[in-house]
């Protein structure tokens, strides 16, 4: 049985005091069950403080992006070495907003996935189709390409510990959730692609999250699906009570 993994992606929201308050509230009430993991993916300036606040607790801290190089002349960038040094455990890679606004490609996603493992970070690799692609029946082909290229060259062990987040772009921040059956169909496809690219054993270990307008009211149904092992949540992860309700759903 795979654990459920609930990750909040705050995107570019909150100031430090709000981030600290949220984390204090969550740490106090987070379920202690071993079958669910909770991760807060926060903006870079808050990471150090949040890592301190979550030390010795079940809450992990993730970044929302990083560069694939260890150091150098990359003004404004943050390296995997810096994240690891702070105590960050996870990093979101290839979010559709980064692909759209910051020229992230399958190639840079792949470089970042390799860099994450090299430095002991767990990548949350995001994939997802646009509305146009869905309407043109290109979803499965597009997702397969993103998964294959994103995970290319990783060892079986690395693939097994990658978290893949399926986030249909048309469902992000729009209030439109994919039906749990449609979401599961793509998550099953992702697992089959990994089966083919790696092995059945490896594919069975990969945690696959769904993301796109997930909230306490719809997470239960999503998590009952065979290949949905958790959620990557934007808007509904911004309030502690809501985030805790999502994590609680993962314990069932």
Binding positions for ligand 13P, rule: CB under 6 A: 9, 95, 167, 172-173, 211-214, 232-236
Q: Measured from the CB of residue 126, what is the shortest distance to ligand 13P in angstroms? A: 7
The reply to whether 167 belongs to the active site is: yes
Flag whether 235 is marked binding: yes
Query: Is 213 flagged in the annotation as binding?
Result: yes
Taking alpha carbons only, the member of 236, 231, 207 closest to residue 221 is: 231
Instruction: Please report, in angstroms and rounded to a whole number, the separation of the first and last CA atoms in the chain.
Output: 13
Cβ closer to ligand 13P: 99 or 202? 99
Instruction: Consult the annotation and say whether 72 binds a ligand.
Output: no
Dihedral angle, C-alpha 196, 199, 202, 207, nearest 10 °: 10
Residue 95 C-beta: closest distance to ligand 13P, Å: 6
Nearer to ligand 13P, 143 or 172 (CB): 172
Q: How far is the CB of 199 from ligand 13P (least distance, A)?
A: 28
**Residue 242 labeled ligand binder:** no
77's tokens: 């960038």
List of residues 6+ apart from 56 with CB closer than 8 A:
none
Q: Which is nearer to ligand 13P, 69 or 182 (CB)?
A: 182
Q: Name the minimum Å distance from CB 172 to ligand 13P.
A: 4
137: which 2 tokens?
């029946």
- Specify whether 142 is catalytic: no
Determine which one of 37, 97, 167, 248 is catalytic: 167
Q: Is 8 annotated as a binding residue?
A: no
Q: Is 13 annotated as a binding residue?
A: no
Taking residue 28's Cβ as centre, other Cβ atoms within 10 Å add up to 10
> From CA 38, how far away is CA 224, in angstroms rounded?
18
DSSP code at position 72: S
Burial of residue 22 (number of CB atoms within 10 Å: 0-12, 13-18, 19+): buried
Contact 125, 162 (CB under 8 A): yes
Helix/strand/coil percent split, the chain, to 5: 50, 15, 35
Cβ proximity to ligand 13P: between 170 and 202 the closer is 170
Measured from each CB, the residue nearest to ligand 13P is: 234
Angle among Cα 10, 14, 15 to the nearest 5 degrees reads 140
**Dist. CA 24–CA 120, nearest whole Å:** 26
Q: Which of 37, 67, 90, 95 is catalytic?
A: 95
At closest approach, how far in Å is the CB of 59 from ligand 13P? 18
- In the annotated binding site for substrate, the residues are 9-11, 173, 213, 234-235
Binding-site residues, in ranges, read: 9-11, 173, 213, 234-235
- Annotated catalytic sites, by residue? 95, 167
């Amino acid at each position: 049985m795979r654990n459920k993994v609930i990750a909040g992606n705050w995107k570019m929201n909150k100031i430090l005091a709000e981030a600290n308050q949220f984390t204090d509230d969550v740490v106090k009430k987070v379920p202690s069950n071993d079958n669910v993991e909770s991760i807060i993916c926060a903006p870079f300036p808050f990471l150090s403080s949040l890592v301190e606040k979550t030390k010795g607790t079940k809450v992990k801290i993730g970044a929302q992006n990083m560069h694939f190089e260890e150091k150098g002349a990359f003004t404004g960038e943050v390296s995997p070495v810096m994240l690891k040094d702070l105590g960050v455990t996870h990093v979101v890679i290839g979010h559709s907003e980064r692909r759209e606004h910051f020229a992230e490609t399958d190639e840079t996603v792949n470089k970042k996935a390799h860099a994450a493992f090299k430095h002991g970070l767990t990548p949350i690799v995001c994939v997802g189709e646009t509305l146009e692609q869905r309407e043109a029946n290109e979803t499965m082909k597009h997702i397969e390409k993103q998964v294959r290229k994103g995970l290319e060259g990783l060892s079986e062990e690395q693939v097994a510990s990658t978290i893949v987040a399926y986030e249909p772009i048309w469902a992000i921040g729009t209030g439109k959730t994919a039906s749990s059956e449609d979401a599961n169909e793509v998550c099953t496809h992702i697992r089959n692609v990994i089966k083919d690219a790696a092995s059945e054993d490896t594919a069975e270990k990969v945690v696959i999250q769904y993301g796109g307008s997930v909230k306490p009211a719809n997470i239960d149904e999503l998590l009952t699906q065979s290949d949905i092992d958790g959620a990557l949540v934007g808007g509904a992860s911004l309030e502690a009570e809501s985030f805790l309700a999502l994590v609680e759903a993962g314990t069932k």
